[in-house]
Chains A and B, each alone.
Chain A
Amino acid sequence: MTTTTAAPTRPRISLQRKRQRYGWFYVTPFLAIFALFFIVPLGYAAWMSLFSSTLAGGSQFAGLGNYVRAFTDPLFIGGIGRVAAFGLVMIPAQLIVAITAALVLDTLATTLSKISRLLIFAPYAIPVVVGALMWSFLYSPRFGPASTIFEWFGMAAPDFLSSSAIFGSLVNIVTWQWAGYYMIIVYAALRSVDPAIYEAARIDGANGFHIAMRIKVPMISSSMVMVITFALIGTLQFFTEPVVLRSMAAGAIDSAYTPNMYAYALAFQYSQFNYASAIAFSLGILVFIGSFIFLFFTRKQSGLK
């Protein structure tokens, strides 16, 4: 039994197999919760989405009727388009801030850099609701803090809560809240790179910029995949920030601003649970296809054995 290379005999194979089965013992508690609060609700929502209910006629089988309605519903399509636009702006914004900050921090070891690292990360510890509340105060023309900053630089402040500016205002909140978290992930990945590689590159004549672009960025690709995945999921699920800002900027954000908000309003304000489920599922299908394609092309970096 001391060597594992010896030709396995029959009883040992079965012992090994038996032991592997022990794995179920560890994963079952989680799988029970997974079944109860993921599989069952999802199955139930799929079921609900196939029916339509009216006050007069009760519940009726509608087949894919709700889905046809969803993909021709201008409110839903509008929300999808808006979220796609947010993704195109928000994900690069968060990524650029996070990666530049991490690259700069990686070359410094001063008290200032240590403090900055903590300050940049701090917004992650703030609940999203409180973060959004705070920014809605800052944006508010009645309180005036953001306009004060513009005045310091001698500029006229825009109306951050108007319908033309709200897109940028929301991008700013999300970047503020999450860039620091992503920065820490990227930074930790950078710290794990052996500095001897940089030394070798330097001898070969590479400067700091070359090292950053040609060595550091490729070496942390797996953490970048992780960060982009997080940012992607976060963007597609966009809900809390626009909901909170809505009470300050009612004219600029309607109840169907994002697909998640639309489904929420349908379910909890108009009690249209069937159609809400269909909307949520349609979004789910789009999210799933998108993430699957992304993860398929980056599977080498995912770090799973």
Chain B
Amino acid sequence: MALTTNTPIDSHTTTTGLSSRINRGAGRANRLGGRRIGSHVFLLILAFYFFIPLWWLFVASTKSTGELFGSPAFWFADITNFATNVQGLFMHDGGIYWRWLGNSFLYALAGGLGATILAVLAGYGFAKYSFRGRGAVFGVVLGSVMVPLTALVVPTFVLLSEVGLINTPWAVILPSLLNPFGVYLMRIYTQDAVPDEMLEASRIDGAGEWRTFWQVSLPLLRPAIVTVFLLAVVQQWNNFFLPLAVLTDPDLLPVTVGLNRWTALSNAGAGGEQVWNLITSGAFISVVPLLLSFLLLQRYWQGGLAIGSIK
């Protein structure tokens, strides 16, 4: 598995084991070429299906409300309206949209970072130490992934309100530190990426357990750490149920809950609240940071997402 994560995803060989360039000149070129066209058409259709809603969102973010309803859906009308919409986002409700976006960043980064640190430590502990009770504890942790969100959100809400944390950022950040799947990924990865022999060598050289972890193991875990962090951030950026339940103060909402609120109000037909153009441009802007980070961090997540799925 360590091999997979280190192998660039595009050092490609075809089914014949030859590089695609050599293969193209082979005797079977015709037949293979034919099949490649079919495969490419299939991919084009898929890409079109997955991309067209995003394209629509991009186009829609540049339109005024009137143009949203009146102009061709998949092409631009007056593109300068994007600036008008951004301006509208600053004006509507005193620019609360930007606050929501900031909240999303705060919750995602704080929750993601905390969850990753806990997952790295726990994954390492589970993978490299066979302390008594390890199997049972890990089993419970893994099983927790199956528990439906409501079973947790409802009592968490009641408990948080008892300690006065409802309607504070902590109500969103603290529960999100719980990331059992991250622990699972880190354990699986650590098993293979950190050889026992290496730990033994470090111990014989006189390094303590903590120093061994910090200086020998941690550098080997870097690809998995990036993946777990990215997944935790996405999960937190996506979070909807928990903030919906524990936050009522509009100033504290993450952008997901905020946009949903605008849509509900607009659908309810409340006169001054019909802000379709702001919803589309706000949604588009909120989508950009994650899309960009996935694009820029391709090298890491493409290999990293396979952790746990390969033996």
Contact = CB atoms under 8 A, between A and B. Distances in A.
Interface of A: 1-2, 4, 19-27, 29-31, 33-34, 36-38, 40-42, 44-45, 48, 97, 100-101, 104-105, 107-110, 112-116, 118-131, 133-138, 142-145, 148-149, 176, 179-181, 184-186, 188-189, 191-192, 195-196, 198-199, 202, 208, 211, 220, 222-223, 226-227, 233, 236-237, 239-240, 243-244, 247-248, 259-260, 263-264, 267-268, 273, 276-277, 279-281, 283-284, 287-288, 291-292, 301, 303-305
A237 B73 contact: no
B141 to A, nearest CB: 6
A244 B256 CA distance: 10
B209 to A, nearest CB: 5
B286 A130 contact: yes
Given A128-B238, A133-B260, A280-B154, A114 B10 contact: yes
B43 A260 contact: no
User: How extensive is the interface on chain B, given as a class?
Assistant: 35 or more
16 contacts: A21-B129, A37-B156, A38-B178, A41-B152, A41-B159, A109-B14, A110-B20, A115-B47, A127-B255, A189-B309, A195-B14, A196-B17, A244-B263, A247-B267, A263-B150, A303-B308
**For the complex, would chain A's binding face be called helix, strand, loop or mixed by DSSP majority?**
helix
B158 A273 contact: yes
A130 B42 contact: no
B154 A276 contact: yes
Contacts of B183: 30
B96 interface: no
A125 B302 contact: no
Interface string B93-125: 000000000000000000000000111011011
B145 interface: yes
A26 B137 CA distance: 13
Interface in B283-304: 283, 286-287, 290-291, 293-295, 298, 301-303
A195 B240 contact: no
Given A42-B152, A127-B286, A26 B124 contact: yes
Contacts of B278: none
B302 A184 contact: yes
Contacts of B143: 288, 292
Interface string B124-140: 11101111101001000
Contacts of A135: 53
A291 B145 CA distance: 10
B41 to A, nearest CB: 10
A188 B148 contact: no
Given A27-B137, A125-B290, A44 B256 contact: no
Given A24-B131, A37-B152, A44-B158, 14 more contacts: A21-B131, A22-B209, A109-B12, A109-B19, A116-B43, A126-B290, A127-B238, A129-B260, A188-B9, A192-B3, A198-B15, A208-B15, A280-B150, A292-B146
